[in-house]
Structure 1
Amino acid sequence: MKKAAFGALALTAALIAPVVQAQTSATKPTIVLVHGAFADSSSWNGVIRILERDGYPVVAAANPLRSVHGDARAVGDVLTSIPAPVVLVGHSYGGSVISEAAEGHANVKALVYVAAFAPETGETAAGLSGKFPGSTLGPALAPPVPLAGGGNDLYIQQPRFHDQFAADVPEAEAKLMAAGQRPITDVALNEASTATAWKHVPAWFVYGDKDKNIPPQALGFMAERARSRQTVVVKGASHVVMVSNPAAVAALIEKAAVAN
């Protein structure tokens, strides 16, 4: 009888455990990750592994990289589809997108800027990159690719991608990233922001002190201006700090997720 009773209890525990885990996960906010220029959603893979291990639902949104307003609408549609609270995370140009996309979405409880722009109304990504010295992105760009509808697509020259974009990532991985990079339009980088969600939604910042796309001084300026709840500067990290240091980035996202 004792064996049977123990077996029944064990079976009950085994059946209940998945339900408890699901309930625990359901109480956590959904993390929505928005990639930036010259990258795609796979740039978040290391961060996603950690967040999902820790029980967070994660959506890596596809950023069209066509225009700030259009991209923000696309991400906004994703936010509308999620009934739960959201921590909205943007990398690089994705910071401009999340600053606009969060407007009008009350479920966004926190913003996390990962080596990302946090523009004031009227500012552009290109303008913020040049606000302080240190960016070497311009000379590293390939000749523009003209688009049939007007404007140009911009890429980083593949031979220069590793040093410019991902210097602290293994060379073999950087080569794959260079070949698969997503272009951004010149229109997007020069389009002025019209919304500043960081003024009323709590914000966190993380970036590397060896960023060659956005000068660290510019990133620090934007973090201070946005009254960052916490700013993490990763020593030696490149522009893709989420690829080279996923644990540091995931840890900050989780802090934002549990903050009041």
Structure 2
Amino acid sequence: MADRPNIVLVHGAWADGSSWSAAIERLQATGYHVTAPQFALTKLADDAARLRHVLTRKDGPTIVVGHSYGGQIMTALGADAPNAVGLVYIAGFGLDEGESIGGLLAQVPPTPAIAHLDIDDQGFAWLPVDDFLNHFAADVDPTKARVMHAVQQPLHASALEEVMGPPAWKSFPTWFLVAEGDQTIPPDAQRQFAARMGATTTEIATNHVAMVSHPDEVVTIIETAAAAPVTA
């Protein structure tokens, strides 16, 4: 339907655009125009510039959806994200100005999924297969989780120390899915992000990659955001 907003889906670390496949199928089946670009995950500014470019190519209002580090990319758009009318965080980082992921994670013991990051000689962080299967994608079918591990997009370790500028969530309506069983981003941290955003929040019993293990619930949140009135 022409009056429906576009949907842009932003993958996080140790994933790629294919992680949104189940959600894309469902959204396309109900008439949405969906884009799930690939991100290099080398530097926050570069990833945000990539997302901004994708948004400039849209022909109208757009809901931006970010999972995990994809929430960081989305947040870094600031107040003037082109064509954006709403932000949906799926177990995502929603930092405030002056904060970093590393600073946040240093406040708590390492979560099981990221306790044994494998940093290569170029500074990229990879998830070992055991941690990926048993913690990052713990509620995903093991065969599918192994495919996800094979296509994982590593995050440059320097991204953990990058400091957030003015966050986009202060300028757009927000929705947040808290993953109650998340072993990557602590659920309490997600609740804190959502609360200070004033986000419309839903909690479901899922691990980190909710759009893979619980695509119906994720799509419901996206469609709720898409149906919200656009405010000037």
Q: Does the alignment reach a TM-score above 0.5?
A: yes
Pairs aligned (count): 229
Query: Which residue does 2:77 correspond to in 1?
Result: 101
Does 1:88 find its partner at 2:64?
Answer: yes
Deviations 1:225-251 (A, max 9, x none): 1000x211111x111011000000000
Deviations 1:117-142 (A, max 9, x none): 00101111222334455722342322
Aligned equivalents of 1:102, 1:59: Cα separation in 2: 20
Query: Which residue does 1:247 correspond to in 2?
Result: 216
Q: How does 1:107-146 map to 2 (within 5 A)?
A: 107-132=83-108, 135-142=111-118, 144-146=119-121
Aligned equivalents of 1:106, 1:66: Cα separation in 2: 22
Aligned equivalents of 1:199, 1:111: Cα separation in 2: 10
Deviation at 1:107, TM superposition (A): 1.5
Task: Find the structure with the greater CA-based Rg.
Answer: 1
Does 1:223 find its partner at 2:160?
Answer: no
Which of 31, 50, 53 is the aligned partner of 1:55?
31
Deviations 1:73-98 (A, max 9, x none): 01100011112100000000110100
Misfit runs of 4+, over 4 Å: none
User: TM (normalized to structure 1)?
Assistant: 0.84
Task: Determine if contact 2:77/2:167 at 8 Å carries over to the other structure.
Answer: no
Q: How does 1:137-176 map to 2 (within 5 A)?
A: 137-142=113-118, 144-147=119-122, 152-176=123-147
In the alignment, residue 208 of structure 2 is paired with which amino acid?
A: H
Q: CA RMSD in A?
A: 1.4
In the alignment, residue 151 of structure 2 is paired with which amino acid?
A: G
Q: Which runs of 5+ in 1 are unaligned?
A: 1-24
Does 1:198 find its partner at 2:174?
Answer: no
User: TM (normalized to structure 2)?
Assistant: 0.94
Does 1:233 find its partner at 2:209?
Answer: no
Tell me the secondary structure at the aligned position of residue 36 of structure 2.
Answer: strand
Q: Which runs of 5+ in 2 are unaligned?
A: none
In the alignment, residue 120 of structure 2 is paired with which amino acid?
A: V
Task: Determine if contact 1:30/1:87 at 8 Å carries over to the other structure.
Answer: yes
